[in-house]
Amino acid sequence: MRRVYKSVSVAKGDGGFEVRLDGRPVRTPARRSLHVPTEGLAAAIAAEWDGQGETVRPDRMPMMQLACTALDRVQPDPAAVADAAARFGETDLVCYRADDPPALAHRQHAAWQPLLDWVALDHDAAFKVAHGIMPVAQPAEAMAAMRAAVGRLDPWRLAALSVATAAAGSVVIGLALVAGRLDAEAAWAASQLDESFQIEQWGEDAEAAQRRQALRAEFQAVERFVALLG
């Protein structure tokens, strides 16, 4: 999309703070009014618009993308989004541990077990751990508790969670990031633990490195988005 606007500003409206291009309010892809709950988030989105060159690149506007996810996808049906995120718990990354090599098994336990202990203590979601490749059925009580924890999030944080959970393959890691239990770097490292271990043994190709950096950027965007929500 070619840039046709010159000025970018932030204004307070009835529904929160909005970003304006040449005095006209920005709208989401679904044509909803882009009202966000904090001035800080609006300013960050405005900076993304202002930083575009001759061509507007949505893929370089992570705060705008997350806000649009909240407004266009989450707010119309938050229960569906919450359920989709919670379902990651059925096959959550942090519940599947290697039997060997011992070094990998030790790293998995050290990084992932504290997260499982946290969701069990803070959210009553006591997940089972599987060793090897055989799947484990999670207790219905644990899944119900995770759905309740996710369902308590407002649409803005739920949008952030949905992105983090998909990136991590883990609702436990996603929830820990949104809750501030993990920062972006720690969440990325936890989600990439197996891959990082293999890279140490065999090296990394350029395609894998690019993919890992893209995932890191997603975690960083989620962390910043949640911080801007206040």
User: What is the predicted pLDDT for the residue at 104?
Assistant: 97
Question: What is the pairing mode between strands 24-25 and 16-21?
Answer: antiparallel
Cα gap 151→85, rounded to integer Å:
10
CA 18 to the chain's CA centroid: 23
Nearest to residue 92, comparing CAs of 29, 136, 57, 132?
Answer: 136
pLDDT value at position 1?
87
pLDDT of residue 169: 97
* Distance set, CA 178 to CA 155, 191, 207, 219 (Å): 12, 15, 28, 10
* Residue 126 CB neighbours (<10 A): 15
- pLDDT of 148 reads 98
Of the candidates 230, 218, 190, the residue with the CA atom closest to the CA atom of residue 62? 218
Residue with tokens 């504290």: 114
Looking at residue 134, what is its pLDDT? 83
Whole-angstrom distance, CA of residue 39 vs CA of residue 37? 7
Domains plus CATH for the chain? Answer: 8-59 (3.30.2180.10), 78-229 (1.10.3580.10)
CA nearest to 34, candidates 74, 78, 86, 72: 72
C-alpha to C-alpha distance for 117 and 126, rounded to whole angstroms: 8
Contacts of 32 (CB under 8 A, 6+ apart): 71, 72
Length of the chain, in residues: 230
Residues 6+ apart with CB under 8 A from 171: 85, 86, 87, 88, 89, 92, 146, 150, 161, 165
- Walk along the chain (230 residues) and give the pLDDT tens digit of each residue: 899 999 999 999 888 999 999 999 999 999 999 999 999 999 999 999 999 999 999 999 999 999 999 999 999 999 999 999 999 999 999 999 999 999 999 999 999 999 999 999 999 999 999 998 788 999 999 999 999 999 999 999 999 999 999 999 999 999 999 999 999 999 999 999 999 999 999 998 899 899 999 999 999 999 999 999 99
